[in-house]
């Protein structure tokens, strides 16, 4: 009888063996308080390290919105459309939520090697904690985004509350992206060097700073592709809910809903499959 057969006979299991997906998710759910406390502690630590503290949470995307707004506003001229300042603020603030989740998720395992190698726990908790941290950071940003919208002439309306379920759906999408990037980084450490290029490419191809209908109106087939672009549709819905008379297609909810569910499902399975590998990061 082999050692493996002997162990199976007495119900022994290899230390660090990957559990079933159902048990894996159950173990992660049992650590939900740890996930939240870890996310909250990281937000507090981040604020304490900066002289301006929590102000930087909204100051950074504000400066980005001003810089990109001025540059792309001048470049687009009359093609930029009405309410362009609000258009840019919404795009930059929500895109910031996506990029911090993607970049933070990519480093969630490799950036916590001591924790991963010394304790036994579902590694899924680390990227989940990262995205939770970004959600906590996003909350004051959304409030400031609404304040900016009112200052820039947007009339408050009940549809602003639709931002909440939209953010929930975007969190699901971001979680899937974070899980995928977390595993890729474990296998290919240089992936973090490529991410800034990916981030920049996504920013310039997701309608963050320009109206697709106005800029690409001579290429209707290309505009049609954007109808299925998840990031672009997230921003389109947000702008339609916040801005005055912004174009809106209810089909966008179907697009972002399908993308979010499929991305999270794939991300969970893809990340779980390599669970045994994470403890051996070096």
Taking phi first (over 0 means left), then psi (-120 to 50 degrees means alpha), and beta for anything else, what does residue 218 get? Answer: alpha
Residue 27 lies in a domain: no
| Residue 16 located in a structural domain | no
Determine, yes or no, domain membership for 116: yes
Q: How many domains does the chain have?
A: 1
Q: Which of 182, 196, 209, 185 is closest to 267 using CA atoms?
A: 182
pTM of the model: 0.87
pLDDT for res 166: 96
- 110 Cβ contact partners less than 8 Å away, ≥ 6 residues apart: 185, 186, 189, 192, 281
Tens of pLDDT, residues 108-153: 898 888 778 777 788 999 999 999 999 998 888 888 888 888 888 8
Question: Is 249 contained in some domain?
Answer: yes
Q: What is the pLDDT of residues 5-28, one digit of tens each?
A: 444 554 545 555 678 899 999 999
Q: How many CB atoms lie within 10 A of CB 18?
A: 15
Tell me which residue of 38, 32, 25 sits closest to 112, measured CA to CA: 38
Extract the tokens encoding 282: 């070096």
How long, in residues, is the chain? 282
**Residue 198, domain extent:** 33-278
């Amino acid at each position: 009888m082999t050692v493996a057969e002997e162990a199976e006979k007495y119900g022994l299991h290899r230390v660090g063996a990957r559990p079933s997906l159902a048990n894996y998710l159950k173990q992660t759910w049992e650590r939900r308080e740890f996930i939240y406390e870890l996310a909250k502690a990281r937000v507090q630590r981040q604020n304490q390290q900066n002289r301006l503290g929590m102000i930087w949470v909204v100051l950074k995307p504000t400066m980005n919105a001003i810089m990109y707004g001025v540059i792309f506003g001048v470049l687009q001229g009359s093609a930029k459309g009405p309410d362009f300042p609000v258009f840019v603020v919404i795009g930059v603030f929500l895109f910031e939520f996506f990029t911090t989740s993607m970049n933070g998720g990519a480093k969630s395992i490799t950036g916590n090697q001591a924790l991963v190698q010394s304790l036994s726990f579902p590694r899924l908790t680390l990227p989940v904690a990262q995205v939770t941290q970004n959600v906590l950071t996003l909350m004051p940003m959304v409030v400031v985004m609404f304040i900016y919208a009112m200052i820039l002439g947007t009339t408050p309306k009940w549809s602003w509350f639709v931002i909440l379920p939209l953010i929930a759906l975007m969190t699901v999408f971001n979680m899937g992206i974070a899980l995928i990037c977390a595993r890729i980084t474990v296998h290919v450490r240089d992936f973090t060097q490529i991410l800034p290029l990916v981030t920049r490419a996504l920013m310039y191809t997701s309608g963050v700073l320009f109206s697709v209908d106005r800029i690409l109106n001579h290429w209707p087939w290309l505009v049609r592709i954007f109808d299925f672009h998840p990031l672009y549709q997230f921003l389109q819905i947000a702008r339609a809910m916040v801005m005055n008379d912004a174009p809106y297609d209810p089909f966008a909810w179907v697009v972002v809903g399908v993308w979010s569910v499929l991305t999270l499902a794939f991300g969970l399975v893809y990340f779980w499959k390599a669970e045994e590998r994470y403890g051996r990061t070096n």
